[in-house]
Amino acid sequence: MVTHEHSTILLTGATGYVGGQLLPALLDAGHTVRCLARRPERANLDARAQVVAGDVLTGAGLDAALDGVDATYYLVHSMGRGNKGDFAAQDRQGAETFGAAAARAGVSRTIYLGGLDDASVDNGESEHLRSRHEVGRILSEQTDGVVYAQAAMIIGAESASFVILRHLVKRLPVMLTPRWVDTRSQPISILDVVGALTTLGSMSAPPSEVQLGGAEVLTYRAMMGRFAAVMGRRAPAVLRVPVLTPRLSSYWVSLFTPVEAGLVRPLIDGLSTEMVVRIPPPAGINDTPLGFDEAVRRALAPSENYPPRP
């Protein structure tokens, strides 16, 4: 695999979970990394990184932050996090503003992380997945060199989907679930996501789209049983109730997990959509992803997930 080094990278979303895991990997790979933050004084990040002020919605500070940058990572989304507005509209605005600024700066590559599903079919009620694909399309229209990485459910200590799964398995002996309990997914470890994103930043000719998944395809029912076994607990009894709507399902998930309510509903809406890799990534990107059980064990370990596995 032919690679090249970027001297300077602008990382957006560094204070989020995936961005926070990606930052030390980029620094250890020898990159100079600038982290974009609306309030740099509040960003508690790796001391090796530069922290610069900027806002992808208003565009404030973007031109200065992008000056001299070779590549960017766009890991911004407005869903949840106390946001009471229209997250899809805000994500649309952010992509348009950032993409235009990256084009003005002549940035040669932008790596964007979205959700994995079949973009060629209707996503039903999942505004979350529709919005993720829209952001990828907007970025590609605004600036050159966009790499759209699409990941299935991320297994990591602070991944919202993982936190929901962990608390449901831990707290509920019996679960009433709608049809999504038998939807297939290909959950992927945060370690493998970070590894793939780091590789995409240094490949000389990366693909424009990459689908990322773990080593196994599982239903959510199977995940809950396997998760319980890793935790040394009895698997919860899962009773499928076809009439339980995503709205009602999100209510009981909110009751039994600490995940912010603004995140729960769109995530639950997306569970009815299969997240399975249909086009494997090129060699050198996510070649040997972790299996589900090992990914869960790593995520439950007291230490942080990074550094990557050997």
pLDDT digits (tens, 9 = 90+) for 86-133: 778 999 999 999 999 999 999 999 999 998 876 544 445 567 778 889
Confidence check: pLDDT of 234 > 90: no
What sign results for the dihedral spanned by CA atoms 293, 296, 300, 305? positive
Determine the longest span between alpha carbons in the chain, in angstroms: 56
Weakest mean pLDDT among 78-87, 118-127, 161-170, 232-241: 118-127
Of 297, 309, 308, 302, give the one whose Cα is nearest residue 166: 297
Torsion, Cα 190 195 196 198, to 10 degrees, reads 120
Q: What is the pLDDT of residue 231?
A: 87
> What distance in Å separates the CA atoms of residue 173 and residue 175, rounded to the nearest whole number?
7
What's the CA angle centered on 234, arms 232 and 237, to 5 degrees? Answer: 150
pLDDT at 78 over 80: no
Alpha-carbon distance of 2 to 165, in angstroms, equals 38
User: Among 95-99, 207-211, 243-247, whose mean pLDDT is lowest?
Assistant: 243-247
pLDDT range class, residue 155, cuts 50, 70, 90: very high
Average pLDDT of the chain, as a whole number: 84
